[in-house]
Amino acid sequence: MFKNISLRIRIFLAMILLVLLASVLILGVTVYQYDEQTKEYNISRFSRKENSVISSIEFELKRENREPLSTETLGKIFQNRIYEIASTHKLNISIFDLEGNLIITSNTINSFDTRKEDQALSSQVIEDLEDLPSHRVFSNVVIDNISNETSYTYLTDLKFKRIGVLELKFSQDNSEEQKELEEFITRLTYVYLLMFLIAIALAYFLSSYITRSIKTISDKIHVTRLNKRNEKIEFNSGSTEIITLVNAYNRMIDELQESAVKLAQSEREQAWREMAKQVAHEIKNPLTPMKLTIQHLQRVVETNPDDINERVNKVSHMLIEQIDTLSHIATEFSNFAKLPSTNLEAVNLSDVLQNVTDLFQQNTKCEITLVAEPDLLMQADKDQCVRVFTNLLKNAEQSIPESRVGKIEVKAYVENNMIVVKIKDNGCGIAQELQHKLFTPNFTTKTTGTGLGLAMVKNSVLSFNGTITFETDINFGTTFTLTFPSGAK
């Protein structure tokens, strides 16, 4: 299905998809980056608090006039101070012995893990403290937009001997940041929506601009014909590919023009050769009996018979008939040569058909019926128009066997703003193998004639911007259908 979509639509959809995909990716990266920055900020904030608390605790451990430093004295040392430190830094502080048993806790911030005083550290935390190079365990858990950071580190005496485990817990409410993120996403969505609408308009104009040059070339190629003069494309601006394509098309037009000239010249030469052969053949047919007749007349004159006058008259009559045949041949070829010279004028086809059928009816034994709408006006050459229908009626008459009562029906009417003329006969029809040659010059199925009749008919009809077709049924007859543009200018 996508293969049938035009190039302009493909470019348009591709650009829209690209903008949409970019918008989604940017939005996703923005949300991810915002979330990561929030996490980094929380961790950084906790780290600062952690460093401050550790500094305060170390200061407390190094104070003079205090209890000796040991695991057992940690509870007494921080008995009151731990609450002050926890309150100052707004976090929860707990101190455990090296086995993980709770010694003392500030118990001020317990938002996500309420611990009893006798609760011990997990064995996993103790193992991690021992194994990690930094001897520090850190965890960050987010529950319902509440970020909970926890760290575990060793407490040491002045000789760096481990005497306990320090636990720091800090809870931060990220609801405000989440609300800000949602508001930011909403504003960003509006911006992307506006950008998307602008992108649609821009993609439409860009796709139209990109394909405009290709469409120009496509339209030119679509109307390019071998038998007419084709215009080159004047296109100086555009991409290198388009300019290359335009230059290739213009070169093709030059080559096509040269080929058309050569082809036309070849066709004309071939046509004249065929015409010359046909003319020679048609002229030789009456010349041969004329020569034989004159030779016979010479012999008759030499013998001086009593009926010489009668024989001379007979020979003269025969010669006149052959000369008329030659004159007819000359007229036919002359008319065919003059066909391109067409004088178009307003013609009432109804009157032409009436006159032609009336005249033809006087010289034929066939029954001719004419059914024509009145005032069928068209642009045509009246003389050629008369020859067209005279030829068609003559061909219809000659196609009817002598053993059959000839019937020729002529109908003329307007259909879809076109004048339609149908000439139907009840003759022998046209054989399948001869149908494609019907309008070819010099083609005839009769023993006499030049074979130019239907060729002249077709050329005349085409000069009137009309068409001619036929339907035939062997032994039942043939119907010729002619169509012309209706109306007179």
CA 40 vs. chain centroid, Å, equals 53
3-state class (DSSP) for residue 238: coil
Q: State how far the Cα of 161 lies from the Cα of 106, in Å rounded to an integer.
A: 24
Identify the pLDDT of residue 239: 61
3-state class (DSSP) for residue 345: strand
**What are the boundaries of each domain within the chain?**
2-180, 240-336, 342-485
Instruction: Take residue 342 and report the two structure tokens written for it.
Output: 């067409």
Strands of 146-156's sheet in order across: 102-105, 92-96, 162-173, 146-156, 136-143
Is there a contact between 375 and 348 (Cβ–Cβ < 8 Å)?
Answer: yes
DSSP string, 97-136: -TTSBEEEE-----SS----TT-B--HHHHHHHHHSTT-E
CA-CA-CA-CA torsion sign (80, 81, 82, 87): positive
CB atoms within 10 A of CB 176: 9
Residue 99 contacts by C-beta under 8 Å, 6 or more apart in sequence? 120, 126
Q: Output the pTM of the full model.
A: 0.39
Nearest C-alpha neighbor of 42 from the set 118, 116, 131, 148: 148
What residues form DSSP beta bridges with 473?
Answer: 477
Q: State how far the Cα of 248 lies from the Cα of 184, in Å rounded to an integer.
A: 54
What residues form DSSP beta bridges with 155?
Answer: 164
CA distances from 192 to 18, 19, 184, 195, 200 (A): 13, 9, 12, 5, 12
CA distances from 280 to 264, 275, 287, 294, 330 (A): 24, 8, 10, 21, 11
Is there a contact between 107 and 92 (Cβ–Cβ < 8 Å)?
Answer: yes
Q: Residue-wise pLDDT tens for the chain (489 aa)?
A: 555 666 677 777 887 888 888 888 888 888 888 778 877 887 888 888 888 888 888 887 877 556 677 888 888 888 878 888 888 888 888 888 888 888 888 875 443 344 444 467 888 888 888 888 888 888 888 777 777 888 888 888 888 888 888 888 888 777 777 787 788 888 888 888 888 888 888 877 777 776 776 777 667 666 666 556 666 666 666 566 667 777 777 787 777 777 777 776 776 667 666 666 666 666 666 676 777 777 777 777 777 677 777 777 777 777 777 777 677 666 666 655 554 456 788 899 999 999 888 888 877 888 899 999 999 999 888 888 888 898 899 888 888 888 888 899 999 999 988 999 999 999 988 888 877 777 766 444 444 444 456 777 888 888 888 999 999 988 889 999 999 998 755
DSSP string, 268-286: HHHHHHHHHHHHHHHHHHH
Identify the pLDDT of residue 288: 67
Identify the pLDDT of residue 408: 92
Residue 123 contacts by C-beta under 8 Å, 6 or more apart in sequence? 100
Is there a contact between 399 and 408 (Cβ–Cβ < 8 Å)?
Answer: no
Identify the pLDDT of residue 383: 82
3-state class (DSSP) for residue 138: strand
Identify the pLDDT of residue 482: 93
CB atoms within 10 A of CB 144: 8
**Fold agreement between 2-180 and 342-485:** no
Element (H, E) at 33: helix 7-61
Q: SS in 3 state form for 168-199?
A: EEEEEECHHHHHHHHHHHHHHHHHHHHHHHHH
Residue for token digits 């046509």? 271
Element (H, E) at 211: helix 175-222
Q: State how far the Cα of 147 lies from the Cα of 205, in Å rounded to an integer.
A: 50
Class of domain 342-485: alpha beta
Query: 2-180 in CATH: which number?
Result: 3.30.450.20
Identify the pLDDT of residue 456: 78
CB atoms within 10 A of CB 326: 15
